[in-house]
Structure 1
Amino acid sequence: MAIEGQRPKWMEQMAGSPFTKNYFTTDMQEKIVRQINNDKANHRLFARRKLLISLVCSFMILFGGIGLLWKYTNVVDDIVQYANMGMSIGSKARQAQVNVFPDGGMTAGYKTTYLWVFERPLDQLKGSEMSVKAIYQPTGEVLNVVPSKIINESIRRTDNQTGVVTSFGLPYAGKWQLEVSLDGNYFADVEINAPEPDWTTSGSFQWNDMEFNGKENRIGVRGMDFEANNANKYMWYLKGSEDELSANRRVIAIQQNTGRVELIVDSLAYSIMSKENEQIESYIPCLMNLPAPGLWRLTVMTGDQLFDSIVVQVK
């Protein structure tokens, strides 16, 4: 029992080092002190270097940004001027002959508005016939997406540029080369990427007391549920302008994930049901067969022009 005012022996033993000899030598202490001092010096040097790099980057961004802003002031004007059209910056053509601005919601499988800004004044282009070929990079397939458009006016505000609006669709997701010609002569080409479209199955609507799957007042298909490798009769509903529906109509099917493409109808002969305000409503009976289960996008093409598309589930 410890006497009051005295420390017990076990406390004195606990206060001592647990080691039998001194491992933490003077030499070790000096090395640690030197390392700490070196670390502090390196930290200060790193901080100075970091500050210098930050200053250099800031100057590069400042002057580079001013240069880019000066160079692309007209492009910024385009974005502001056409914001209500959903335009976004597109790819720049080789030799800076023309810039293209696809609609901000552009995807494969649907028609899209494109603004072409030629780096030439209207008086040099007025009366020229513009055409555009779309070349699908993975396969080399060529579509005449703009067969002919006469340039008569410009929607640009500057005197040294000409703005032309076209509308067309690209059926497949991926890289496309858009080749622009004027009066039949090559002018420039642009590479763009068509994003993957939405693969939600299309909804239904009523037309003449019949139910169709698709988009009301535009496109739909009616018939049995789709079963792989089982041909059935179906009826298409199409509504559009006479120009849209006048060319040869065919249906291509694109499978989700695989990108497999099948021509399932090579010719659609339609019957006009009604015509109002230059819009034709038509129905088209046909036989269709899809080769595999899964989600398929049925895309109606009129000539080389994409009319519209719907998504169906195949069992």
Structure 2
Amino acid sequence: MTDRQKPHWAKEMESSPFIKSRFTKEMQQQVLRKANVEKKAGAARHRRSRAPKTAAAVLIVAALGAAGLWLSGDGTSLLPSWPPDVVSSNKPAGERTQYYENGKLLFSVFPDPELKAGRPYGYLFSFQAPFEELRGKSLAIYAEHVHSGYKVTAAAPAAITEPSSGYQGLERFGVANLGLPLSGLWRYTVELDGKRYGDVTLFVPESSWELSPLFKSGSVELRGTAQNIGFIDPGFRAGAPQKAMWHVWGRDDELKGSFSVKAVKQGEERIIDVLSPLTLGGSVNGADRTAPSMVTLPEQGRWRLLPYIGDRMLDSIVVDVK
């Protein structure tokens, strides 16, 4: 198969899905070692799956069910019903990184250890099915914030044509640069050919709400992250439109698509659109692309601006609104 025939995710799988500046080679090896350990442990659990459950395990599961602790707001299960030893005591409540069906491990997820809301991170999904069971099917992953119901596409539908590089199956499926706007518990649902295959849940910690720093670029001062995204901060007043000149850095292929901005207020889960999609302009002040805009934030307080290119979150910028 030629490079042109490969789906877009095939190239991502050949390299790490994690952002280099935040995910070191040592961390990558640690995640991969954990994946191998989990795979062996899953096989051992499957061999024991016909053995009777212990009385203690049954009591734990019954107690969780009676207390309603394994249910989300919509009543769906957040904790695995089998086998109960998958639930680790040091995980946040409701987090489940493996999906089992009839006692058989189907897949696991390994996120960037630095995962936080408001910034893009990478994930590694490890599927256990023989590759022939997956070949030719369309794979998609969707993420939903359990409390608010806000949804994002983690991996758009794409045909499975080749195994992970260096593996016999799809044991190293990378999801790169996925930014989630809210902290809390997220459910990641895997679909094959448009049908639910299984889900895992991860607790996504909150990012800092400190005011984003200023940095110099060319002849201007910008608020944001140097060599990534920033804007000339006009100072925001609630309900008043303000001019904002956006500056974006990246390769040409990374900057294709429309530019838009969402926002969320500190302490809330309501995400609003503050800048409708527009086309980025040319290079100014040392940035690779720029865009003039008018931005309105409706209420006083501290806000996190979430700039996107297409569906990809670039970063987040924290501002004050007077």
Q: What pairs with 1:53-132 in structure 2 (closer than 5 Å)?
A: 71-72=41-42, 91-95=97-101, 96-126=105-135, 128-132=137-141
Return the letter of the residue paired with 2:259: R
Unaligned runs of 5+ in 2: 1-37, 45-94
2:260 corresponds to which of 250, 253, 266: 250
Q: 1:90: Cα distance to partner? A: 6.2
Contact 1:156 1:162 in 2 (8 A): no
Partner of 1:304: 311
2:272 corresponds to which of 257, 262, 270: 262
Q: 1:288: Cα distance to partner? A: 0.9
Contact 1:134 1:178 in 2 (8 A): yes
Q: What pairs with 1:1-315 in structure 2 (closer than 5 Å)?
A: 71-72=41-42, 91-95=97-101, 96-126=105-135, 128-149=137-158, 151=160, 152-154=162-164, 162-167=171-176, 168-273=178-283, 281-315=288-322
After superposition, give the CA deviation of every residue in 1:182-229 in whole Å (9 maximum; x if it has no partner): 344432222222211111111122222111001111010103112222
Counterpart-to-counterpart distance in 2, 1:298 and 1:252: 6
Partner of 1:27: none
Residues 208 and 298 of structure 1, relative CA distance in 2, 3 Å threshold: same
Q: 1:235: Cα distance to partner? A: 0.6
> Higher helix fraction: Structure 1 or Structure 2?
1
Contact 1:202 1:310 in 2 (8 A): yes
Counterpart-to-counterpart distance in 2, 1:242 and 1:187: 35
Q: Which has the larger radius of gyration?
A: 1
Q: 1:123: Cα distance to partner? A: 4.9
SS of corresponding position for 1:71:
helix
After superposition, give the CA deviation of every residue in 1:238-271 in whole Å (9 maximum; x if it has no partner): 1234444333332111111233432111223210
TM-score scaled by length of structure 2? 0.63
Counterpart-to-counterpart distance in 2, 1:218 and 1:161: 32
Return the letter of the residue paired with 2:120: K
Contact 1:226 1:313 in 2 (8 A): yes
Contact 1:181 1:188 in 2 (8 A): yes
Return the letter of the residue paired with 1:134: A
Residues 227 and 119 of structure 1, relative CA distance in 2, 3 Å threshold: same
Counterpart-to-counterpart distance in 2, 1:260 and 1:144: 18
Contact 1:222 1:235 in 2 (8 A): yes
Counterpart-to-counterpart distance in 1, 2:39 and 2:144: 32
Contact 2:228 2:314 in 1 (8 A): no
Return the letter of the residue paired with 1:214: G
Counterpart-to-counterpart distance in 2, 1:228 and 1:260: 16
Unaligned runs of 5+ in 1: 1-67, 75-88
Residues 172 and 69 of structure 1, relative CA distance in 2, 3 Å threshold: closer
Q: CA RMSD in A?
A: 2.9
Q: 1:72: Cα distance to partner? A: 4.8
Contact 1:90 1:102 in 2 (8 A): no
Q: 1:171: Cα distance to partner? A: 1.2
Contact 2:142 2:190 in 1 (8 A): yes
SS of corresponding position for 2:125:
strand
Contact 1:94 1:190 in 2 (8 A): no
